[in-house]
A and B are shown apart, each in its own frame.
Chain A
Amino acid sequence: MAANRKWKPDFWFWLTVVITLVLLVFLAYPLFTLFIRAFQNGADGSFSLDNFVRFFSKNYYKRGLKNSMIIGFSVTGLAVLIGAPLAYLMATYKFKGSRVIDILIIISLLSPPFIGAYSWVLLLGRSGFLSDLFAKAGIRLPSIYGLGGIIFVLTLKLYPFIYIYMKGALKKIDVSLIEASESLGCTPVKKVFTVVIPLVLPTLLAGALMVFMNAIADFGTPMVLGEGLNALSTMVYTEYINEIGGNSNFSAAIACIMVVITMVFLGAQQYVINRKSYTMSSLKPIKKQKFTGIGGVFAHIGAYVILAFSIIPHITVLVTSFLKTEGKMFRQGFSLDSYRTVFSSLARPVLNTYKYCLAAIVVIVILGMFVAYVSTRKKNVLTRFIDAVTMFPYVLPGAVLGLTLLMAFNKPPMVLSGTSVIIVIALVIRRLPYTLRSSTAIMYQLSPSVEEASISLGCGPVKTFFRITAHMMLPGVLSGAILSWVTVINELSASFILYSSRTITMSVSVYQQVVRMEYGTAGAIATILTLTTILSLFIFFKVSGSSEVDL
């Protein structure tokens, strides 16, 4: 007897196999190539540590590493110092215009990456608007170029991570914990250090890690402000360009070093979080208090000043895009010249961006739903492999990802370099960990019994996925997709390595215009990008019905 049901490969099995194959080809294989190349001698292809020896024996490269570390740590430190207190104030006190502040901070985080860099050049660079103004008054403003400027600009760009993470965590603290500490005689300052900080520490660390990884991965800012100063992210690119014709072994090695650094920090953060995490679910969230006295005035001024610094780049971009231009010079008065130029001769990057990003989003949504489903409902060896591999892009700086894909797909049988496909792949991979994290979270909230109810009513498992599960996932997946959309239209560092003249995107184009000092058209494209971002965020807030983003 014991006529057990024989295992037969079903739809989900084949789907899992297909996903696994896709990930093997487009993620595991390129990474493997990168790794191998890094350990190969450029001249004869033999395995050696030559590339790493070369890196660590030349001051030029060591300086790049040091610069990246300085940038990473300073930006993280400063971002925490700005973002955390701001979040605390906004979460515990009633602020005038707090909703506007929130939205502006989110926009400044999600806006095109090096807009900050170049608008600060317009303001504080050589013959910049503000530096000229102050110079007339006999004041010399500090230079925006070099390490200091990079750190300044990146801090302003990245502190929103800390702000958003911290505000989320503070919302989850139960007010009774704080009341308890007050009733035990804690002073307000002591309360923050003994109760609040320990509780939000894991979140703070997660935010700090995001800032750190973004700071050392950032590519546009050091390119624009560095003036020859090198960092790991720019070296990956410049060494790749210099090596052209060779096998890019050396830039592969630099890329590996970057990946190792991010992995070390990820590991350290996980270690601390695992030892110190609390699950909190707030029954009684902190109630916002009213400001009393002069402290409130100062707090408002402080917050508005920080916000002003975040928004200035966008305003600068907007204004320059409407300035009258003559060649590379700005003239008195306003005009739509820059936009005319964009639409007559630079329409391609705009269209490309929308096309590629739309394609990427479609793939992201479909892949996200399928992977989330199989990895929560159909666990097996393959899905565990999928889970592990899809987290990898998290530690891959954009430039490294670009390089990786280029190295893997620039020779037969798969020549994708210079095509739009490779850019779409890069965009999909960059968003993969975030997409999956949000869609798996959605899956975990859906009770399997709803699907079983459908099956028991006679609707087969595959049909049930499309008729029931997908429907229930859709609202969450869509709002995640809008966020992905916002981040991929602004993607620069991977596209920068992967683009060709035919496949150029808006953010790359802005960079090119900046390098050519065509600030008017740069401003126009950047404004289009920013407007798209703002519009998309607006839709996101409407669709998700919340004023928070999960990054």
Chain B
Amino acid sequence: MSIRISAEHVVKKYENGKVTVIPDLSLVIKDGEFFTLLGPSGCGKTTFLRILAGFNTLEGGRILFDDTVMNDVPAQKRNIGMVFQNYAIFPHLTVRQNVEFGLKQRKISGEELKKRVDEILKIVKIEEFADRLPDRLSGGQQQRVALARAIVISPSVLLMDEPLSNLDAKLRIEMRTTIRELQKKVGITTVYVTHDQEEALAISDRIAVMKLGELQQIGQPMEIYLRPYNTFVATFIGFSNLFRGTVRMENGRPAVVLNEDCVLHVPDLDESVEDGQEVIVSMRPNEFHYADRGLRVRVISSTFLGQNMSYKVAFENALAVELEDENELTEPMNYLERKLNAGDTACIMPMENKANVFTADGARSLIKGVTIYGGE
């Protein structure tokens, strides 16, 4: 039976309350959903996952599975399946014994035990290793064992903390497909932690982006990518160029002025914007086209990426917000209008309908209907 998970005003402090890692977190994970926690290192993803698992205490708020408050339920009674970054296979037990372990705790034996174990071993394609000890398995195989062991107990929730980060790139993609298919087949509520945004976009039903223990945005992958709630999300998920601009009312309709040659009539701007308001505009590297007027860029370097050309550029007549990386443009090779070299200059225009506009501090989107919790 899968369940809905609610976190209500969860507070987590370490070191006897001296360090607050999660100040106040509320969210709802829907029944049967593949939910991903995404954020930079140290933002509290693992901490929150371990709160759900019952391994971390919480210093405030509540955790509910459906309508049951779980705060006082110890980890071994929560009926969760957990998959760890380092697999955490029991080294002294064979693959089969590893998978049987949780079922035996549930006093399942005999025919049913064997049936369920065989079935799951087959699903994750490790039946031929059933009698091996784990130290003679590859990383990918060990992770399959861990997955089988977690799922075979029919848990209410499946929790996974960066389960793929110890695998090589190719295996990672293969395993993530396996995980995704398995999750859909079993229909189990899954909370998945990663700091790999591409993985998150590919695998999730919904993503929660976190920073310093605070929720930045929850939404479907497309929503988060196309309509980020703030500049942190815009720059953390994929790359975005940020510009400073000013709102100008033209015939009662707001436009965003980057410079006099570049006035963007962004559709769906929030009604609250005022004439003269300072804003930030974010554009993805591929959301520009060449133009006669607009933003003048000087190419600093160019990199050939196979399907795309990627340019590092400096904007000469617009206020780009300083980023850690340099600003970036990419252009799909099949649309390549001209090849630019280092030192070349060009004029480009942002695509108005792709633009995202934020308040001057970058904290909030000024596009209609974009909220932290998304349009559920």
Is B101 within 8 A of A447, CB to CB?
Answer: no
Tell me the chain B residues, 61-75 only, with Cβ under 8 Å from chain A.
Answer: 61-62, 69, 71-72, 74-75
Q: Enumerate chain A residues within 8 angstroms of B81, measured Cβ to Cβ.
A: 456-457
CA distance A450 to B142 in the complex (A): 13
Q: Enumerate chain A residues within 8 angstroms of B159, measured Cβ to Cβ.
A: 456
Is A452 within 8 A of B84, CB to CB?
Answer: yes
CA distance A4 to B69 in the complex (A): 11
Task: Flag whether A455 is at the interface (Cβ < 8 A).
Answer: yes
A455-468 vs B: 1/0 string, CB under 8 Å?
Answer: 11111110000001
CA distance A471 to B93 in the complex (A): 10
Query: Which of B88, B91, B106, B149 is the most central at the interface, judged by chain A CB atoms within 10 Å of its CB?
Result: B88
Q: How large is the interface on A (under 10, 10 to 19, 20 to 34, 35 or more residues)?
A: 20 to 34
Is B86 within 8 A of A472, CB to CB?
Answer: no
10 extra interface residue pairs, beta carbon distance < 8 Å, beyond A450-B88, A457-B76, A472-B92: A1-B61, A447-B86, A454-B90, A457-B81, A457-B101, A458-B77, A460-B74, A461-B76, A468-B90, A471-B92
Tell me the chain A residues, 435-480 only, with Cβ under 8 Å from chain B.
Answer: 447, 449-450, 452-461, 468, 471-472
A-B contact pairs, 23 of them (CB 8 A): A2-B61, A4-B58, A5-B57, A6-B72, A447-B88, A449-B88, A450-B90, A452-B84, A453-B82, A453-B149, A455-B55, A456-B53, A456-B75, A456-B76, A456-B80, A456-B159, A457-B76, A457-B153, A458-B102, A459-B102, A460-B74, A460-B76, A468-B90
* A453 in contact with B79 given A1-B8, A458-B106, A459-B105 (CB within 8 Å): no
Is B82 within 8 A of A3, CB to CB?
Answer: no
Q: Enumerate chain A residues within 8 angstroms of B102, measured Cβ to Cβ.
A: 457-459
Is B75 within 8 A of A455, CB to CB?
Answer: yes
Is A5 within 8 A of B71, CB to CB?
Answer: yes
Task: Flag whether B118 is at the interface (Cβ < 8 A).
Answer: no
Is A449 within 8 A of B59, CB to CB?
Answer: no
Q: Enumerate chain B residues within 8 angstroms of A5, measured Cβ to Cβ.
A: 57-58, 71-72
CA distance A453 to B72 in the complex (A): 19
Tell me the chain A residues, 1-18 only, with Cβ under 8 Å from chain B.
Answer: 1-6
Q: Which of B53, B58, B89 contacts A452 (CB 8 A)?
A: B53
Is B84 within 8 A of A458, CB to CB?
Answer: no
CA distance A3 to B77 in the complex (A): 18
Task: Flag whether B60 is at the interface (Cβ < 8 A).
Answer: yes
Q: Enumerate chain B residues within 8 angstroms of A2, measured Cβ to Cβ.
A: 60-62
Q: Enumerate chain B residues within 8 angstroms of A460, measured Cβ to Cβ.
A: 74, 76
Q: Which of A4, A447, A452, A472 contacts B75 (CB 8 A)?
A: A452
CA distance A317 to B311 in the complex (A): 84
CA distance A455 to B53 in the complex (A): 10
CA distance A455 to B105 in the complex (A): 10
The chain B residue with its CB closest to the CB of A450 is B88
The chain A residue with its CB closest to the CB of B58 is A4
* A4 in contact with B57 given A456-B80, A472-B91 (CB within 8 Å): yes
A154-182 vs B: 1/0 string, CB under 8 Å?
Answer: 00000000000000000000000000000
Task: Give me the interface of A with B, judged by CB distance under 8 Å.
Answer: 1-6, 447, 449-450, 452-461, 468, 471-472
Q: Enumerate chain B residues within 8 angstroms of A456, measured Cβ to Cβ.
A: 53, 75-76, 78, 80-82, 150, 159
Is A458 within 8 A of B105, CB to CB?
Answer: yes
Is B84 within 8 A of A4, CB to CB?
Answer: no
CB distance from B95 to the nearest CB of A (A): 14
CA distance A449 to B82 in the complex (A): 10
Q: Enumerate chain A residues within 8 angstroms of B90, measured Cβ to Cβ.
A: 450, 453-454, 468, 472
Q: Enumerate chain A residues within 8 angstroms of B57, measured Cβ to Cβ.
A: 4-5
Task: Give me the interface of B with A, judged by CB distance under 8 Å.
Answer: 8-9, 53, 55, 57-62, 69, 71-72, 74-82, 84-86, 88-92, 101-102, 105-106, 146, 149-150, 153, 159
Q: Enumerate chain A residues within 8 angstroms of B149, measured Cβ to Cβ.
A: 453, 457
The chain A residue with its CB closest to the CB of B53 is A456
CA distance A453 to B86 in the complex (A): 11
CA distance A461 to B55 in the complex (A): 11
CB distance from B79 to the nearest CB of A (A): 7
Query: Which of B57, B79, B85, B92 is the most central at the interface, judged by chain A CB atoms within 10 Å of its CB?
Result: B92
CA distance A1 to B7 in the complex (A): 13
* A454 in contact with B101 given A2-B60, A449-B88 (CB within 8 Å): yes
The chain A residue with its CB closest to the CB of B78 is A456
CA distance A459 to B93 in the complex (A): 15
CA distance A449 to B88 in the complex (A): 6
Q: Enumerate chain A residues within 8 angstroms of B76, measured Cβ to Cβ.
A: 455-461
4 closest pairs, A vs B, by CB?
Answer: A457-B102, A458-B105, A449-B88, A453-B88
CB distance from A168 to the nearest CB of B (A): 25
CA distance A460 to B78 in the complex (A): 11
CA distance A461 to B75 in the complex (A): 9
CA distance A472 to B57 in the complex (A): 27
Q: Which of B9, B53, B71, B106 contacts A4 (CB 8 A)?
A: B71
* A457 in contact with B58 given A447-B86, A452-B53, A452-B82 (CB within 8 Å): no
CB distance from A161 to the nearest CB of B (A): 33
CB distance from B48 to the nearest CB of A (A): 15
CB distance from A127 to the nearest CB of B (A): 59
Q: Enumerate chain B residues within 8 angstroms of A458, measured Cβ to Cβ.
A: 76-77, 79, 102, 105-106, 153
CB distance from B61 to the nearest CB of A (A): 6
CB distance from B93 to the nearest CB of A (A): 9
Q: Which of B69, B74, B86, B146 contacts A3 (CB 8 A)?
A: B69
Q: Enumerate chain A residues within 8 angstroms of B86, measured Cβ to Cβ.
A: 447, 449
CB distance from A488 to the nearest CB of B (A): 28
CA distance A2 to B90 in the complex (A): 36
Query: Which of A3, A449, A468 is the most central at the interface, judged by chain B CB atoms within 10 Å of its CB?
Result: A449
CB distance from B155 to the nearest CB of A (A): 8
CB distance from B317 to the nearest CB of A (A): 53
CB distance from B128 to the nearest CB of A (A): 23
CB distance from A467 to the nearest CB of B (A): 9
CA distance A471 to B91 in the complex (A): 9
CA distance A39 to B74 in the complex (A): 52
The chain A residue with its CB closest to the CB of B61 is A2
CA distance A389 to B59 in the complex (A): 33
The chain B residue with its CB closest to the CB of A446 is B91
CA distance A461 to B54 in the complex (A): 12
Q: Enumerate chain A residues within 8 angstroms of B89, measured Cβ to Cβ.
A: 450, 453
CA distance A283 to B73 in the complex (A): 46
Is B105 within 8 A of A457, CB to CB?
Answer: yes
CA distance A472 to B89 in the complex (A): 11
CB distance from A59 to the nearest CB of B (A): 57
Q: Enumerate chain A residues within 8 angstroms of B106, measured Cβ to Cβ.
A: 458
Is A452 within 8 A of B55, CB to CB?
Answer: yes
